[in-house]
Structure 1
Amino acid sequence: MKKLLLACLLISFSGLASTPLTVRYSAGGHAYPAELLTLILSKSAITMVPSEVPDIPSQSRAIRLLGEKNGIDVFWGATSSEWENQAKAVLIPIDRGLLGYRIPVVHISHKDMFAEVTHARQLIPFVFGLREDWPDTAIFKRNELDTLMYGTGAEPIEMLRSGRIDALPYDIFDLPKNHGDDIIHEPHIAIRYPSAVYFLWRMTIKHYTNYSMMVY
């Protein structure tokens, strides 16, 4: 898969430059995509130098900045209908679909709130908090789940502590994080739905907002 991903991404950039090329990307987030991008660029016959661009607070802003003079050249993210006409994509999932696994983050006093849940329809009574620009938000709403959307400057963990929301459906990569002694990853369920993370550069992107989710 790495060889195919390498070929697709480098073909996307081929012809852009015969001299060293700086490839800008949004700083922050998980380390793996940035390290993978660095590895891919290192295999190019063209000298490509990855460069982090700080202070891009949201995915939607990152998409808007793609290709801009003071923006970025590459972004990675899950698919969404909103992004279909805004970016080209290397349609190879770089995380093998792992981003589609969600482990709810809850207050410790509610550690057993999902103990009896065995299918997605049983999630309807609960309130989930999701970022307004996450593609996952559309998936939760499509599955008729009560979804409180928050913006870039919000503090979702505090919203959880105050009881405004019941759970934060964070991705599986959040498991190693410590959000405080009173905040835990719910021990009974995992939520899964199709979700693929692609390198975006500018091409039609399939999206999965109409898929159903499952509970394990």
Structure 2
Amino acid sequence: MFKRTIYLLLSSVLTLFSSYSYSSEVTLVRVLGQQSAEDVTQDYFYQLLGKALKAGSTDPYYTRLVDATSLTQGRSMQLLTDDIIDVYWMGTTIESENKFHAVKIPLMKGLLGYRVSIIKKQNLSYFSQLSEAELKRKVACQGEHWPDTKILQANGYKVAAAGRYDAMFAMVNKGRCQYFPRAIFEGYGELAVAQKTFNDLVMLDDVLLHYPYPIYYFVNKKILR
């Protein structure tokens, strides 16, 4: 099943890039690097893209990481608009699909919408017993340009929006928000890095948030022209 997914991804992505080469011999594919040390899941999507491009083609290509240190999601999307990067992976929205071309293969089978939360250790027992109504009265940290922020707010949750991804770990540690929801494939790796600086942070996984939220690869629509 995994190989089948790679093949379908390859078919979509490689077809788009077949006429979008930066020379007659080698195709360059530019993608974002990590936003910070905690951003450990970026490498998975980078490696997945490389395997997809390599799996069914003998055409030479290489990927280049573009510095994404402290970039907001809004700025990252602008880099795709401005042709500074070629591929960007993110949770989908209607606006994103209107603006860019989405390769509609959900890269994590919908797991982006299943959320554990990073919290202070002292609050673990308390948060594990909260009702939904009580949780809505607590403040969640989320990115200023993340679709999650609007999703949570539309469902009655309080959100403190931050411009920088890495700042949200400090915000939880300082009590500026009470929990930081993360996808279940993101949270544990991020927490392991964050705990080197904030050793009072732990994972709340007795309570999950869930909303439909696939993550896709996106490319600039001009590739299709």
Tell me the TM-score normalised to structure 1 length: 0.84
Deviates more, 1:49-58 or 1:99-108: 49-58
* 1:108 maps onto 2:126 in alignment: no
CA distance in 1, matches of 2:7, 2:122: 47
| Native 8 Å contact 2:143 2:165 kept in 1 | no
**What letter is aligned with 2:129?**
E
SS of 1:194's equivalent?
A: coil
What is the deviation of 1:80?
2.2
**What letter is aligned with 1:102?**
R
Alignment of 1:116-127 (within 5 A): 116-117=129-130, 120-127=132-139
What is the deviation of 1:23?
0.5
The equivalent of 2:27 in structure 1 is 21
The equivalent of 1:32 in structure 2 is 44
Alignment of 1:34-183 (within 5 A): 34-42=46-54, 43-55=56-68, 57-66=71-80, 68-69=82-83, 71-117=84-130, 120-152=132-164, 155-172=167-184, 173-176=186-189, 177-178=191-192, 179=195, 180-183=198-201
What is the deviation of 1:154?
6.5
* 1:194 maps onto 2:194 in alignment: no
What is the deviation of 1:164?
1.7
Deviates more, 1:55-64 or 1:71-80: 55-64
Tell me the TM-score normalised to structure 2 length: 0.81
1:12 to 9, 16, 19: 16
Q: How many residues are treated as equivalent by the alignment? A: 201
**Could you say which structure has the higher helix fraction?**
2
1:143-171 Cα shifts (integer Å, max 9, x gaps): 11011101127722222222221111122
Over the aligned positions, Cα root-mean-square deviation in angstroms equals 2.0
Unpaired runs of 5+ residues, structure 2, are none
Unpaired runs of 5+ residues, structure 1, are 204-216
The share of aligned pairs that are identical, in percent, is 28
Structure 1: 4+ residue segments shifted above 4 A: none
